[in-house]
Homo-oligomer: A and B are copies of this chain.
């Protein structure tokens, strides 16, 4: 163990993995890097941490600065610290991931850094180790969403069961039985059935639901195992 004064100092950054859903596909928000080198290359939303803020604060600030997005769900993903991960100068980065409904925030997004949504299955080349970071984020999203009511963050406030089911199917690249899906989600008691229907996607129309704000927090810890077959031990 050595004295403080003998220690090296390093750059420290945050990167945000922003997943969005547009009703069809799971997408990732990337921007055009604004500084040299590699200016103009696709990059995660990221930036350096300042003197007085925590990485959590930095993630929120950077996201707002670069995209205009504010007040969205975020959690820490992982710290990346390979000495050569940033080719300019050694930079340690803590990655955060965020979930948003693309439609809902369409107005809010500013265009300064040319943000673009890419389908999670057709991502462009990203700078540094950002592709690796995204892979880890996808894994964590699937893992966490199976156990916690996370994915609601990706939907409008009002949504239908078929919409919710498509989202889960998009995230897990799988098809679920609608009957069982319905019952499972309703059994959580986390959803409130509304009186009106969405009639755009079907003739019969599907009832809207919303998350019960009173039960959301308590429900967060005791959610479901949503992935069929995952319970079975082979």
Count the A residues whose beta carbon is within 8 Å of the partner chain — how many?
48
Which residues in B have their C-beta under 8 angstroms from that of A1? 33-35, 47, 65-66, 113
Copies in the complex: 2
What sequence of 0s and 1s flags, for each residue 130-145 of chain A, a beta carbon within 8 Å of any chain B beta carbon?
0000000000000000
A49 contacts partner chain B, Cβ-Cβ < 8 Å: yes
Kindly name the residue among A65, A66, A79, A189 whose own CB sees the greatest number of chain B CB atoms within 10 A: A79
Give A95's nearest chain B residue, CB to CB. Answer: B79
A8-B50, A187-B233 known; A78-B76 Cβ under 8 A? yes
Contacts of A2 in B (CB 8 A): 35, 47-48
CB contacts (< 8 Å) of A222 on chain B: these are: 230, 233-234
A residues 172-196 with Cβ under 8 Å of B?
187-189
Interface residues in chain A, defined as those with a beta carbon under 8 Å from any beta carbon in chain B: 1-4, 7-12, 33-35, 47-56, 65-66, 76, 78-79, 81-83, 88-90, 92, 94, 113, 187-189, 222-225, 230-231, 233-234
Q: What are 13 contact pairs spanning A and B, CB under 8 A? A: A4-B35, A4-B88, A7-B11, A9-B9, A10-B12, A52-B83, A54-B81, A55-B79, A81-B94, A222-B233, A223-B233, A224-B233, A225-B225
